[in-house]
Structure 1
Amino acid sequence: MSGSETRAFNRILRPDDIYDPEGTYWADLPVGRKVKFVNKVNNQEAKEEFAAVWSMFKKDPLAPFGAYFRNFIIPGMGLGLEGYVLFSIGNIKPLFQAAFPLCWGSKKICNPTWLAATEYLEICGIIVGQVSVGIIGDWLGRRWGLIQDATIMFFGLIMLIAAWGTTQNGWVICYAWSLFFYGIGVGGEYPMTATSGMENAVGSGKISTRFDRLHRGRQVTSAFLMQGWGQFFNQAILIILLLIFHHGSGNPPYSEVSAQWTYRISFVPPAIGTLLLIYFRVYKMRRSNTQLAAMKSKQKVTGYDVQSLKLMFRYFGLRVVGTAGAWYCNDVFFYGNKLFQSQFIAILTPNNHSVIVGWLWNLLNVVVSLFGYYLASFLVDNKLYGRKWMMIIGFMGDFILFVVPGFNYGYYSKAGIKSFQAMYFLSSFFNQFGPNSVTFLAAAEVYPVSVRATAHGFSAAVGKLGALHAAVMYNYTKTTQNFHIVPWFGLAGALLTWLFIPDTTGLDLKEAERRWTYIRAGREHDYHGIAIHPKHLSVWERFRGVAKDYDPDLDFQAKVAELRSNWEELQMKRAEEKLTALDEVDEEDWDPELHAYFSRTSNSSVTGFKDPIKESSEEEEKPSIAQ
């Protein structure tokens, strides 16, 4: 084998960002060599990215901002807009209670059930959207689901802006059903943004590349963190609007007119943004179905892949328990934190009756959360830390930060108020720098393409049941009781993560799909690749012995056999004049040097095939195959 052919095999089958020069997978390296290898790859990638950004900046100082806008803001705009509206409901409620005391306050003229429904129906709508649009995304395609979500959210916003009634109770009913309708679109954003963001990480859903392996998590979490910016802008805009319509004063009493104008105008910016989002998804995301379509074509599936759904629950059923259960625990924390913030602020600012003061404290809490979002995005792809540890540490951080004041509430709510404040803000930080970001990513990443949106949507829907749990529970429990109940969901989330969720940090998703192809063909034990490496399996899967088939040498032989089989199929098609040029085939799989090698060895048997990289390194006196 020539040196160029050796390098071609090395580049395709053992890329240097996950294999060392001797052809050893990074997770198989001893600890010292593993740390050294991972840091070397990360440092090299950071230097290349910095050089690329600096080159862009020298040509045009605004170019890096444009790149950030295209790669992170646009993909996450749907989640940013839903974060704006979703959390505005809790932000607006104190204003409604102050401006409409007989309705939202004492509930004398409004039905308490419908007032509570403004929180419950929104969550119910989200659950409906997560399940239904997840199925639609796998059935009709990601692009259709994305367009449908944005359209539903747009009309939901129009309904929220125009919500009215002949009585205040009638207005509350109209407002509640508008939230339900809008929630359906919000729910669909979860599976659609996660799956499309992951599958389009390298552009148009092509097969995995070095960039995808090194930055897939960052691509998805950077889109998800737009939810935090949505919360920030909603709170900031509400403060500005109330100051405008309340004659420059944030102090009570608040008039019904100023409250109505503040509430309705606050929904105008997201309505305009959602309309632009519809345009972008219709005209600028025409190839967002590429990876799903390619997989269905390969498996000869039309419509919804029912067989893959059955196989997913058979082989990955406990992964579903892990992603759905951990999301449930997280949402008890996440939404419970949001619902609890009014009680927290009341402790910090006793005898305060100003809505603005509460909003300013919430704005500070959102800023702390944003630091968590960004740090999660920064570290989520680091192979030495990664998804699973980030999730477990985040859960445990929240557990500790709630359980400590829970068992000494009297002290922390009075003399230790500064410590209490610090713990509350840190709980927001660890929630984003952990489970809230990683559940969104993991619930898409650990499942095959053909049912990815369905599995993500189901996990997210179960998560929203956790939000519903928090909303209901907080109506019947006291503050001290909440501190004794909520922390244990953090501990349960950490245990579910540790036991049932695999760590896909650094795993090439092309390999995960390759394993799924074997499973779907009824040949699970014939797969020997890195997707069943113990590093990328859950504790439960390791206990079951899934990793026993892992064998790098057998896997390499299988990969070469697969490449040869695909090459032979290509030659047959050429003979039938279906293809006329080599460059019409994917360049990464069909390097000219590989073509030359298979042509020269076309009569060879692949049985007992020797590793051409190791064989070449023995025959050629070279210090390293990577040179």
Structure 2
Amino acid sequence: MAGDQLQVLHALDLAKTQWYHFTAIVIAGMGFFTDAYDLFCISLVTKLLGRIYYFKGKEDPGTLPPNVAAAVNSVAFVGTLSGQLFFGWLGDKLGRKKVYGMTLMLMVICSIASGLSFSDDPKTVMVTLCFFRFWLGFGIGGDYPLSATIMSEYANKKTRGAFIAAVFAMQGFGILVGGVFAIIVSSSFKAKYNVPPYWIDKVRSTPHQADYIWRIILMFGAIPAALTYYWRMKMPETARYTALVAKNAEKAAKDMARVMQVDIESDQGKVNEMTERETNSFGLFSKEFLQRHGLHLLGTTTTWFLLDIAFYSQNLFQKDVFSAIGWIPHAKYMSAIEEVFKIAKAQTLIALCSTVPGYWFTVALIDRIGRFSIQLMGFTMMTIFMFALAIPYNHWKKPGNHMGFVVMYSLTFFFANFGPNATTFIVPAEIFPARLRSTCHGISAASGKLGAIVGAFGFLYLAQSKSKPDEGYRPGIGVKNALTILAVINLLGVLFTLLVPEAKGKSLEEMSGENEDNDVDAVRMEDVSRVAADEPHST
């Protein structure tokens, strides 16, 4: 109820879109730009790592063993999962701003360190790379709950969905820039070190200079993170944390008055009164939390888990799928640098035509048609297109049909981003109480990264198999079955979306039920006072 709401929160809910909204989007969004770049750039160079460190002779240009490939691709997700849980909890304990800078510095240091994995022993290089990728993921993990919570608590209720979606949409630009930068780097090396394809010279077609390519691509992720640090430290703590959790309405009003450039009353007396009669300060694992938000948390965790199995499987192993259908030639027909170039070009095309537009469709429409409708539609369309790829899979492998496969495959990315990939990030930042908001978002996001780990390992082994002990793993043999399983996973996402509430047009306090009991107590006290005033006193 607006009358019972603190003035600073009421002012935030009704504020017109101002410059500070765009500033917050850019500051939080650059973190997500870096997150996406760091998480997905590894898929551009895993084949190159195999050529450099696992060259097997004239008949095999070299590939990472499946267990090593799975570790390199997924170790950052393990770190991300851990970081989401830890920093999500810490954001509710210490405040959003205090924790926000830690995550960026960790990302800067570990991005640089990932590219400095030097050794003559392939195992040592891979272990060192995985070590720093884990801690890089740990820092990235903290960005998820903190960025979502900060943006939701800064935004007005009319356009809150679009603002949070805009932060998340920077992920699309991170993926796009990763591909473009890999094209630039590989093109530069290709022009300088022109090596013939493997099948022509029948010798190793990987110049030692190629070792610099993957290092440069991984280390570049430190630059946007470092540039964002100063501006993050200048942001004030969110008013909702300061007023509702830290119980300092005076500081909340002062901070937001400076940001919004309006006069706001502190309402410290109201906060003190609310604190004295507070009856709904239930904990995360309490019976009351389960009654109020248990199904909500189940909905946000399951849908994010299911979505990330499909989404990260598709992103990390695009190169294997494209090789399987013949869109990217077999490694033996390309030099190592040429292979990086072709993989980056394919992923850039997908990002440009489907991934980035999908995010911004969500930004444009989420506050018009709602979170629930977009998520339901996205999962449904992903299910349809996955089945359309899997069932006639042999048809798509035929010459002349490759582009049709790519178009259908691109549409799954479009509806992932104009769908659950965006909404699973947005909703947990809107429906839980302020004192548990970052923690619950972290739990939901960690569930998603568990799905990403399942996707990274599961799709790798589903899409590859071996016919004879000496043949090794051959990409493409199990792609059809993998796509079928991903279609079923998306169908389950449709069902679990029914547990997710709609937050369109409502304040965060309305959605979370915060101070609900306090409002009821206040009404009851007003009723008692009114009755006492009307009734005559007995003598």
User: Which TM-score band (shorter chain)?
Assistant: 0.7 to 0.9
Which AA in structure 1 matches 2:373?
Answer: W
Cα offset, 1:418, TM superposition:
3.6
**Equivalent residues in 2 for 1:286-365, closer than 5 Å:** 287-296=236-245, 297=247, 298=271, 300=275, 307=283, 310=286, 311-346=288-323, 347-349=325-327, 351-352=329-330, 353=334, 354-355=338-339, 356-365=341-350
> Partner residue of 2:483?
483
User: Does the Cα contact within 8 Å between 1:111 and 1:169 map onto a contact in 2?
Assistant: no
User: Does the Cα contact within 8 Å between 1:102 and 1:110 map onto a contact in 2?
Assistant: no
Say which is worse superposed, 175-184 or 470-479, in terms of deviation: 470-479
> Partner residue of 1:590?
none
Say which is worse superposed, 423-432 or 244-253, in terms of deviation: 244-253
Change (3 A) 1:261 1:281: same
Cα offset, 1:392, TM superposition:
0.4
> Partner residue of 1:396?
380
Structure with the bigger RCO (C-alpha within 8 Å, sep 6+) is 2
> Partner residue of 2:261?
none
Cα offset, 1:308, TM superposition:
5.2
Cα offset, 1:171, TM superposition:
0.8
Query: 1:373 aligned to 359, 366, 371, which one?
Result: 359
> Partner residue of 1:442?
427
Is 2:140 the counterpart of 1:165? no
Cα offset, 1:474, TM superposition:
1.8
Is 2:92 the counterpart of 1:138? yes
User: Does the Cα contact within 8 Å between 2:70 and 2:460 map onto a contact in 1?
Assistant: no
User: Does the Cα contact within 8 Å between 1:127 and 1:461 map onto a contact in 2?
Assistant: yes
Cα deviation code 1:193-230 (max 9, x no counterpart): 100111122xxxxxxxxxx1211011111011111111
Aligned counterparts of 2:162 and 2:328: Cα–Cα separation in 1: 41
Aligned counterparts of 1:263 and 1:167: Cα–Cα separation in 2: 17
**Equivalent residues in 2 for 1:529-544, closer than 5 Å:** none
3-state SS in 1 of match to 2:501: coil
Cα deviation code 1:544-602 (max 9, x no counterpart): xxxxxxxxxxxxx95xx99x99xxxxxxxxxxxxxxxxxxxxxxxxxxxxxxxxxxxxx
Is 2:139 the counterpart of 1:185? yes
Q: CA RMSD, aligned part only?
A: 3.4
Change (3 A) 1:343 1:161: closer
> Partner residue of 2:154?
200
Say which is worse superposed, 481-490 or 343-352, in terms of deviation: 343-352
Change (3 A) 1:605 1:399: same
> Partner residue of 1:543?
none
Change (3 A) 1:606 1:233: farther
User: Does the Cα contact within 8 Å between 2:46 and 2:64 map onto a contact in 1?
Assistant: no
3-state SS in 2 of match to 1:507: coil
Aligned counterparts of 1:80 and 1:186: Cα–Cα separation in 2: 11
Cα deviation code 1:118-160 (max 9, x no counterpart): 1232111111001011100011110122111112111111211
Which AA in structure 2 matches 1:451?
Answer: L
Runs of at least 4 residues of structure 1 off by over 4 A? 66-69, 103-112, 248-254, 298-301, 606-609
User: Does the Cα contact within 8 Å between 2:311 and 2:416 map onto a contact in 1?
Assistant: yes
> Partner residue of 1:234?
178
User: Does the Cα contact within 8 Å between 1:131 and 1:461 map onto a contact in 2?
Assistant: yes
User: Does the Cα contact within 8 Å between 2:111 and 2:220 map onto a contact in 1?
Assistant: no
User: Does the Cα contact within 8 Å between 2:374 and 2:419 map onto a contact in 1?
Assistant: yes
3-state SS in 2 of match to 1:184: helix
Cα offset, 1:404, TM superposition:
1.8
3-state SS in 2 of match to 1:335: helix
Q: Which of these two proteins has the greater Rg computed from alpha carbons?
A: 1
Query: 2:391 aligned to 389, 397, 407, which one?
Result: 407
Change (3 A) 1:120 1:496: same
Aligned counterparts of 2:239 and 2:179: Cα–Cα separation in 1: 38
**Equivalent residues in 2 for 1:92-111, closer than 5 Å:** 92-102=45-55
> Partner residue of 2:495?
495
3-state SS in 1 of match to 2:515: helix
Cα offset, 1:109, TM superposition:
11
Is 2:79 the counterpart of 1:79? no
Aligned counterparts of 2:129 and 2:56: Cα–Cα separation in 1: 13
Query: 2:159 aligned to 215, 224, 248, which one?
Result: 215
Change (3 A) 1:279 1:408: same
Cα deviation code 1:348-397 (max 9, x no counterpart): 42635342222211101011210000000000111xx1100000000000
> Partner residue of 2:211?
260
Change (3 A) 1:418 1:475: closer
3-state SS in 1 of match to 2:373: helix
User: Does the Cα contact within 8 Å between 1:245 and 1:261 map onto a contact in 2?
Assistant: no
Aligned counterparts of 2:161 and 2:321: Cα–Cα separation in 1: 33
Identity among equivalent positions (%) equals 26
Aligned counterparts of 1:109 and 1:342: Cα–Cα separation in 2: 13
Cα offset, 1:307, TM superposition:
2.6
> Partner residue of 1:124?
78
Cα offset, 1:300, TM superposition:
4.6
Change (3 A) 1:315 1:306: closer
User: Does the Cα contact within 8 Å between 1:103 and 1:169 map onto a contact in 2?
Assistant: no
Q: What runs of 5+ residues in structure 1 fail to find an aligned partner? A: 1-7, 20-44, 53-65, 202-211, 528-556, 566-603, 610-627
Aligned counterparts of 2:533 and 2:122: Cα–Cα separation in 1: 79
3-state SS in 2 of match to 1:381: helix
3-state SS in 1 of match to 2:461: coil
Aligned counterparts of 2:310 and 2:78: Cα–Cα separation in 1: 18
Which AA in structure 1 matches 2:187?
Answer: L
Aligned counterparts of 1:421 and 1:138: Cα–Cα separation in 2: 43
Aligned counterparts of 2:375 and 2:455: Cα–Cα separation in 1: 20
Cα deviation code 1:22-50 (max 9, x no counterpart): xxxxxxxxxxxxxxxxxxxxxxx9xx98x
